[in-house]
Amino acid sequence: MPTYEFKCNKCNEKFSLTLSVDEYLKRKTFQCPKCKGEDVKRVFSSFTAVTSKKS
């Protein structure tokens, strides 16, 4: 399941949510866990992929 990272524009809190793609697409708004504000912006971060074969 992907982890989506957000930043609150009201209090500058950074937080992440682990949601399925379907759950993410169905949600209309996201809420900051610190100030409960809904003025949040998704931020992009790096990720790591693990494979079973050497390349």
For position 55, what pLDDT does the model report? Answer: 59
8 touches 37 (CB < 8 A):
yes
Structure tokens at 45: 């971060």
Per-residue pLDDT in tens (0 to 9) along the chain, 55 residues:
889 999 999 999 999 999 999 999 999 999 999 999 999 999 987 777 777 877 5
Amino acid identity, position 48 = T
Separation of alpha carbons 4 and 19, rounded Å: 7
Side chain identity at residue 10, one-letter code: K
pTM of the predicted model, to two decimals?
0.75
